[in-house]
Structure 1
């Protein structure tokens, strides 16, 4: 049973946020953090967390449908706009095991964030604090103290990713 935010983060991953209500019968608008429609469409049992109220809600998903860039979700025990209003702003968490398996060269952002990054020489570049999606490839935002380094996630720049050890080895690029 989840009692603290640490329990939640150890067992589950955030996949999106409830941003508003929709209609009068308890449906909510859901903004996904993932670009995988499969993850959202297959939701069944979720934990919602409201960081302002420090409240957890264990809910069962009744239906999911797409609405432009958002999804509309109906939960079994939420059937009025007032009930839906109470979960507005909550992040939605699923178990890590419920994420689709990836090939070896693919990753989820949570696996890369907070990784230590080193150049091949052994120099510590810093920690991954953000990932920018550019369309052609992702770019790591690596921070050490107040210095930020941007490293493209390409085969030319990344030598090795050890997700288990939270460590990335990158080539030191000489920019012209």
Structure 2
């Protein structure tokens, strides 16, 4: 039976085929990357079972996974880009100040004074902690990022689908350089 999309959490994606035996390279997006394979079968976005992990091993930048479902190399390669979901109830309980990235995507963003600041497009971690990528900010072209810290993001309401931010103040050197260049 298919589950409503709200009950599913995106945890991994197939990055392509590995070898000739139908194994896949899988990129995990869970806090503990190997944990993605212990949450049960992977589902598609509608809740239909796609693949059940049988064994996996760490590879250079992903995992090499053999699934219980038989797969040829060609089938594994054609599955590239497939998003893998699990039911929300299969995941561990979160602390009050923890959030699944998939729950944050699309949330409206406002400043401390309630001014609209756009919406969350993505969450990135380049090694220094999570960054929220914000788009559709009034009077601003393109995307920008803010650290996902309690200081910079003091309030998150999944229920209200709203995030309140305290944007970083402009760095003095940047402001002086902008004024000197006439920007």
Length-normalised TM-score, structure 2: 0.75
- Structure 2 residue aligned with 1:28: 24
For residue 128 of structure 2, give the secondary structure of its aligned residue in structure 1.
Answer: coil
Where is the strand percentage greater, Structure 1 or Structure 2?
1
Q: Could you tell me how far 1:79 is from its partner in structure 2?
A: 4.6
- 5+ residue gaps, structure 2: 173-183
- Structure 2 residue aligned with 1:19: 15
For residue 141 of structure 1, give the secondary structure of its aligned residue in structure 2.
Answer: strand
- Structure 1 residue aligned with 2:100: 108
State how 1:11-160 maps to structure 2 within 5 Å.
11-48=7-44, 58-143=50-135, 144=137, 147=140, 148-160=143-155
Q: Could you tell me how far 1:42 is from its partner in structure 2?
A: 0.9
List per-residue Cα deviations over 1:55-80 (Å, max 9, x = no partner). Answer: x6533222222112211111112153
How many pairs align?
A: 167
Length-normalised TM-score, structure 1: 0.77
List per-residue Cα deviations over 1:63-104 (Å, max 9, x = no partner). Answer: 222112211111112153344344333221111222222222
- Given the alignment, which residue of 164, 169, 176 partners 1:174? 169
- 5+ residue gaps, structure 1: 50-55
Flag the structure with larger Rg.
2
